[in-house]
Amino acid sequence: MSSSRSPLHCLSALGQSVWIDSLSREWIRGGKLSELIDQDAVVGATSNPTILQKAMSSGDAYDEQLRELAGRDAREVFWTLAEQDIGEACDVFRPVYDTGLARDGYVSIEVDPSLAYDSLASYREAIRLHETIARPNLLVKIPATKPGLAAIEDAIAAGHSINVTLIFSLQRYAEVAESYIRGLERLVAAGGDPHKVVSVASFFVSRIDTEADRRLDEIGGHDELKGRLAIANAKLAYQHSLQTFGGERFEELAGKGATPQRVLWASTSTKNPSYPDTLYVDELIGPDTINTMPLETVQAFQSHGTPKPTLQTGIAQAHSLFEELARAGVDYDDVTDTLEREGVEKFEASFSELIDELAAKLGLLAGV
């Protein structure tokens, strides 16, 4: 099969952008990233503290620079390394950004996860990262916590592109979309140019099934409800997106050059081995969306994925599923609140572990 007709190229032809949910210096400088662009229709990349921890704690790609930085604070060293990697990755994707009229070609870096509940600090860090990395195809990730919403709106109002991450609930997604629109309205009112601002709303998918299935196991029975909430949740989020960005309020902004905030499906690897390994790609294919996949999911979809429109099917069943889960005793709001809290905690733990590992490595390289 030629790459032009590969399953992922067919997926792209259906209007869904393929981003890679992984990044490392070895990939950037060794040609793997370029290979993914050429062969697998990958047109963007995302990173987070866990991804960067894996990249920096394995191999020796960073050792030479770490020797030069020995003696400096480990946190400062991390940002020096990460900002360089993300900047270089942006440069690899720059031709995608330029030829696609800024639709894709973006690379994401996340603010320090310890700032997730601090609006002002998150805003300031987002601005700092944009100014330091200074690439038009950079997206800075801000978690969609309640305090994060204000930081997101302020960053958009200041004319900076944002990837809103760690979205689990439909209510929070509605608030995220509102923050984006309010930010654009403020930007336009101040005389700014909205066509230079891009945002994506990163909906975490597989973790929702993991948590809902765990609760169903505790309750007992109801096997027919397992493995369904994540897809239903995403489909209803997409419906909200269509309504919000197809409405009169956004139409006025679009007339001034604003672009809709696309939904992005994150955490799309299958955690339950009894589920198909392409489940969270096959069932969520639709126009003007993004699926950011880890490498194993890219490879699985290229091998046996089914590229056909699925995102706007089964909407009535999605609504019904929420009612069925409630009757079974699964509290949707508690599921999503738990996942948001645990998501922040996991990223904080990964970041803390990475800083400790870097400190130890710096010590060794300095001969301490």
| Structural Rg of the chain based on CA atoms | 20
What Å distances lie between residue 298 and 49, 165, 269, 278, 353, CA to CA?
Answer: 21, 21, 9, 9, 28
Amino acid sitting at position 57 = S
Residue whose structure tokens are 């997730």: 116
DSSP H helices in the chain: 7-13, 25-30, 32-40, 49-57, 63-69, 74-99, 119-133, 146-157, 170-189, 206-219, 229-245, 248-255, 279-282, 295-304, 315-328, 332-365
315 and 237 Cβ atoms separated by less than 8 Å: no
Give the residue carrying structure tokens 């996949």. Answer: 293
CA distance 268 to 305: 13
Point out the residues that are catalytic.
141
Distances (CA, A) of 163 to 31, 70, 219: 25, 32, 36
The span from the CA of 17 to the CA of 262, in Å, is 10
